[in-house]
Amino acid sequence: MLIGEFRHSIDSKGRLIIPSKFREDLSGQFVITKGLDKCLFVYPYEEWSKITNKIKELPTTSSPVRSFVRTFFSGAIDEVLDKQGRVTLPQNLRDHANIDKETVVIGLNTRVEIWSLENWEKYQAEEALSYEEMAEQLAELGI
């Protein structure tokens, strides 16, 4: 299970150390793509396959679907960890997530998110006040 929060820096070559806790789940091939809320999504290949199968079922006659699919897939890259547990983040993905140097890598059960430290702190400050409200709404749904 992918859980936890870790802070790492990007080196001068755009490489990021993936936390050791996540490396087993990301061993072999995985996919990094543009995420929502100005972060990057990292999917183990098995999870990526599940998501792409769901996306295949969406109607391509819908303009928002086409736009989403273009952005989601055009920004995606297949990756493998190097011997030091690092991954190279291409400039277009770093630009999307506003990643310059300091990052936060978080586990969200079935995927990993990579955030710039600045965006993560801003997101937490904005969302922290509504955390209790979100929990109440989920409880009403029986979750």
Q: Give which of 105, 98, 97, 102 is closest to 20, Cα–Cα.
A: 105
As a whole number of angstroms, the distance between CA 62 and CA 67 comes to 9
Q: Give the start-to-end residue ranges of the domains of the chain.
A: 2-116
**Tell me, what's the pLDDT at 81?**
95
**Tell me, what's the pLDDT at 125?**
85
* Residue range 93-133, pLDDT digits in tens: 999 999 999 999 999 999 999 999 999 999 988 876 577 78
Look at the domain 2-116 and name its fold.
Answer: Chemotaxis protein chec (3.40.1550)
As a whole number of angstroms, the distance between CA 117 and CA 101 comes to 8
* Residue range 29-61, pLDDT digits in tens: 999 999 999 999 999 999 999 999 999 999 999
